[in-house]
Amino acid sequence: MAVVISVANQKGGVGKTTLTLNLGYGLARAGKKVLLIDVDPQFNLTFGLIGMNVMKYETNNVGTLMTRESSVEDTIVEVSPNLHLIPSHLNLSAKEIEIINAYNRERRLVKAIAPVLPDYDYVLIDNPPSMGIFLVNSLTASDYVLIPLELSYFGVIGMQLMFNLMAMIRNETNENLTLMGLVPNKFTRQTKVPQTRLNELKEAYPNVPILTTIPKAIALEKAQGDGVSIFDYEPDGRAARAFEKLTKEVISIAEGG
Ligand SMILES: Nc1ncnc2c1ncn2[C@@H]1O[C@H](COP(=O)(O)OP(=O)(O)OP(=O)(O)O)[C@@H](O)[C@H]1O
Ligand SMILES: [Mg+2]
């Protein structure tokens, strides 16, 4: 039965999509069966995985899945044998109103994916940088949350917003939602700010798990531009090593190893 993990932060540009994509590839390389779900109307994850083919899925994407116009089986795209995708689409924002007005609106995703959970080891959900019906559905469907964040002066605010939202979700729709941890991203030693922030974070939130730090690396940006994972783009680089370590850490938390 799959472990479902939401990658979420209401702050934009912190690395949600980068983390979902490369952790997805990392888990697939480790022999796990992985389903990625893109619930972001910007469809960056979908574009990163299948490029312009995103256009083909007008009638079977995460939006039509949530309005029950397509079945989950007909909505899954095979990227590679171990890595599957429920794509987002250009028309997802238009679906938002329809979903908001639908019966059981917070549970549309959890219900829709339930039949395929036995087929996977991991489901990773990439979220939009805003609080709305898609993020609520995603957190309602998840066992765990991973929060990528930048160690900048304002980076911590997004994290606090996520903590508040998770508390609300636990009260309302999913009492089992658990914080897997924070993933400090774009780490650099070129200034002292990131290390200082990291130390402050550990002090202010002693009970919050802080997972593998991902370095700031142009290779991650370039890999995304080329539509490949960091493991294919620069297998021996620092970023690939960090994602490999993070993959092992996620497996050990999820599988209790
Ligand atoms: N560790 C890193 N080093 C260098 N560049 C990075 C790193 N992580 C992410 N980026 C780049 O930063 C930009 C934003 O990353 P990404 O799209 O993953 O963030 P996001 O949180 O998904 O954004 P949004 O909130 O818009 O969905 C991208 O251009 C990405 O390639
Ligand atoms: Mg994104």
**Rg, Å, the chain Cα set:** 17
Task: List Cα–Cα distances, 50 to 47, 77, 191, in angstroms.
Answer: 5, 9, 36
Distance 240 CA to ligand 2 centre (A): 19
Q: How far is CA 140 from CA 58, 129, 173, 174, 228, in A?
A: 25, 17, 6, 5, 30
First CA to last CA distance, the chain: 16
Question: What is the residue with the minimal CA distance to atom 31 of ligand 1?
Answer: 221
Pick one of 3.30.470.20, 3.90.780.10, 3.40.50.300, 3.40.50.2000 as the CATH number of 3-255. Answer: 3.40.50.300
Print pLDDT tens along the chain (257 aa). 999 999 999 999 999 999 999 999 999 999 999 999 999 999 999 999 999 999 999 999 999 999 999 999 999 999 999 999 999 999 999 999 999 999 999 999 999 999 999 999 999 999 999 999 999 999 999 999 999 999 887 777 888 899 999 999 999 999 999 999 999 999 998 888 888 889 988 888 899 999 999 999 999 999 998 889 999 999 999 999 999 999 999 999 999 85
Q: E strands within 177-228?
A: 178-185
Tokens 């490029």 -> residue:
51
Helices 92-100 and 133-140, packing angle to 10 deg:
70
- Give the residues surrounding ligand 1 with Cβ less than 6 Å away: 12-18, 40, 42, 44, 129, 185-186, 214, 216-217, 220-221, 224
For ligand 1, atom 9: residue with the closest CA: 15
Token readout for 50 is: 């299948």
pTM, 2 dp = 0.97
- Spell out which residues have Cβ within 5 A of ligand 2, the ion: 16-17, 44
- Position in ligand 1 atom list of the atom nearest CA 20: 18
Return the sign of the alpha-carbon dihedral for residues 27, 31, 33, 38: positive
